[in-house]
Amino acid sequence: MLSIAIAFLLGGIGWTFTEYTLHRWGAHEGANKLEFRVEHLAHHARTSYFAPTSKKVWAATRAVVPMAAIGWFAVGWPGVSFALGYVLVYGFYELVHRRIHTHPPRGPYSRLVRKHHLAHHFVNARSNHGVTSPVWDIVFRTRLDSSAPVRVPTKLAPLWLFDADGDVRSAFSCDYERRGRRARVSSPHAPDPAPPADVDGPSASLDGSPSADLGPAPTPA
């Protein structure tokens, strides 16, 4: 039983490493045309866009089923447990990532991962590649200084960040600053509004420097 529990834990840790490497080299630093990269850049261009769930389920199935089968033939139940830990933490990652963009923080952990990830979006896209944890960014020295507030462009900001007057809510003012004109807020979890194209000026490119918009997101099937 101990070996099965340890394998489950290692599987979860294994996903966090995959999360970092896929995000860093598969989406930002690799010159490739993978579907993951295309979907990811669409998300950067419009942060309310997420790849269709069907695509995510299919990608996870293609990875985890062979992993579990190989694990079973190699070491038995610990191999299956590793695959289970891997896919469950992947599911946790998907939940955390979506809620970062759609719901306000409710505790120290959710505050940490939101500021860490939004700095990746709006400060430097070549840093802060971990989503569920900054651990691998610390290991590979890609974590940004977390002491300064993140300057968030109005047209890409999550709606939970602003109050009814379009200013950063006081509860989050230590972590964030608005960049651009005051936001027009409709409801806390409504789809992002479509402000004028020149609201914020240039947004951050893949290397964190000002650039043109990355283009429209693909329409989910």
The reported pLDDT for the residue numbered 184 is 60
Q: Which of 96, 118, 98 is nearest to 176 (CA)?
A: 118
Among 6-10, 44-48, 77-81, 199-203, name the one with the lowest average pLDDT. 199-203
| 217 in any annotated domain | no
Own/partner contacts of 90-94, CB < 8 Å, gap of 24 or more, are 90/15, 90/18, 90/19, 90/60, 92/132, 93/15, 93/16, 93/19, 93/131, 93/132, 94/56
| 220 in any annotated domain | no
The reported pLDDT for the residue numbered 151 is 95
pTM metric for this prediction: 0.80
Query: Which residues neighbour 43 within 8 Å (Cβ) at sequence distance 6 or greater?
Result: 49, 50, 51, 217
| 178 in any annotated domain | yes
| 181 in any annotated domain | yes
> Total structural domains in the chain?
1
| 221 in any annotated domain | no
Residue 23: which domain range?
Answer: 2-211
143-154 per-position pLDDT tens digit: 999 899 999 999
| 28 in any annotated domain | yes
29-77 per-position pLDDT tens digit: 876 677 888 899 899 999 999 999 999 999 999 999 999 999 999 999 9
94-145 per-position pLDDT tens digit: 999 999 999 999 999 999 999 999 999 999 999 999 999 999 999 999 999 9
The reported pLDDT for the residue numbered 6 is 96
User: Are the beta carbons of 94 and 88 closer than 8 angstroms?
Assistant: no
Percent of the residues in the chain that have a pLDDT greater than 90, as a whole number? 68
Higher-confidence residue: 207 or 57?
A: 57
| 206 in any annotated domain | yes
The reported pLDDT for the residue numbered 183 is 59
